[in-house]
Amino acid sequence: MKIVYVLAVLLVITGCKDAKKDEYTIVDNPANIDVVASNEHPGKKFMETLCYTCHDATTLEEARLGPPMVAIKRRYLMEGGTRDEFINEILAWTGKPSLQKAKMRGAVDRFGVMPYLAFPKDNIKEIAEYIYDYEIDEPDWFEEHYQKGRGNRQGKGMGKGKNGGMGKGKQMRKGMGQNDAPAAYSDIGLKYASSTKAQLGKNLMKAIQEKGTVGAIEFCNIEAMKLTDSMSVMHNAIIKRVSDKARNPKNMANVKELEQIAAFKELVKAGFDIDPIVEETNGEVNFYYPITTNTMCLQCHGTPNKQVTSETLSALTSLYPSDKALGYTINEVRGIWSIVFNK
């Protein structure tokens, strides 16, 4: 599990090198901390780009690759201290992670020690500032989990600040225009999708660590569908990732799946919260849920010779001569999970 954090580095480091520090405005808060307007704070962008592969607020608890960012904040605030001390603790950990320095032993037991990531120190400092000054989105399950594990210790300390309101938010909120699917079937489908995503992610990161980005593309070409099929067997379901712009022709959506992709595209474009689409037919449940792009995805699915480097493009062209999965921007529906299981 020690490799699970590596994906963020290898997929986004090019974008980090070119990232520009945005202008932002200082405002006052009751604690007399200089807090920047959350929507403009560069730390928010860097946190979502560099950290959310493992530390986001939407992945299901059983399928996580690391603790959510809100858990990290609470743990580091437990010991009190000033804003500068909080920032320096984050810098010290990310600068040289080790078992001896770990504050979150439970997370280390589950996920392993975070490896060193070669992010610019200034970016990490801005992330730490944002985490301290603002409320961080929580997973739906987090508060119950936190209280169970920590008793009544809240660990929030200072730094509540303003909530930027731009996080990914709750995963299971009702999205406009979607069906009233039985919650149990939605939960089952999300569990299958999330666990499959976690397996693919862990193995992909291992390939990246051992062989680099091009080696990871080769891994996807050979092993991704095998792993997905093995998860289908484990869950006694049919699990597919399909697209209207497939990289591998075997992942091309059928007519029904194309309809669902089109529906999700409209919902995402309109800015609605997204719930799964669930249909029941002949004793079976058909589950559909979108796969959307973020900054990291664009390293392999963005614009050629811009987000997609020439080396990556050459490997993709060689392995996927009919590749159509390019030209995406952030927060577009790249495809869907299409899962069938018995009632």
C-alpha R_g of the chain: 20
In angstroms, the first-to-last Cα distance of the chain is 34
Predicted local confidence at residue 56, as pLDDT: 84
Which residue in this structure is represented by tokens 């984050």?
90
Spell out, as residue ranges, where the chain has pLDDT lower than 50: 1-36, 152-177
Write the DSSP symbol of residue 51.
I
Q: What are the structure tokens assigned to 206, written together?
A: 């291992």
DSSP element (H, E) containing 270: helix 255-270
Distance between CA 251 and CA 244 in Å, rounded?
9
Question: Would you give the DSSP letter of residue 341?
Answer: E
CA distances from 281 to 46, 340, 342 (A): 44, 10, 10
Q: How far apart are CA 125 and CA 118, in angstroms?
A: 13
Predicted model pTM: 0.61
∠ Cα 161 163 164 (to 5°): 120
Which residues on neighbouring strands pair with residue 290, listed in sequence order? 336
Give the helix/strand (H/E) hosting 52. Answer: helix 52-55
**Residue 244, pLDDT score:** 97
Instruction: Single out the residue of 212, 72, 67 nearest to residue 141, CA to CA.
Output: 67
Q: How high is the pLDDT of residue 208?
A: 67
The β-bridge partners of 241 are 337
The CA angle 144-202-214, to the nearest 5 degrees, is 145
Structure tokens at 77: 């605030």
Q: Strands 333-342, 277-281: parallel, antiparallel or unpaired by DSSP?
A: unpaired
One-letter amino acid for residue 132 of the chain: Y
The four Cα atoms 258, 259, 260, 265 give a dihedral, to 10 degrees, of: 90
Cα 152 to chain centroid distance, Å, stands at 29
47's tokens: 């946190």
pLDDT of residue 39: 58
- 276 by DSSP, 3-state: which? coil
Q: 312, 213 in Cβ contact below 8 A?
A: yes
Instruction: Provide the token pair at 117.
Output: 């990531």
Beta bridge partners of 34: none
Question: 8 to each of 115, 185, 204, 263, how far by Cα in Å?
Answer: 11, 32, 12, 30
Most distant CA pair in the chain: distance in Å? 62
How far, in Å, CA of 155 to CA of 104, rounded? 13
pLDDT at 33: 36
What pLDDT does 30 receive? 32
- State the pLDDT at residue 242: 97
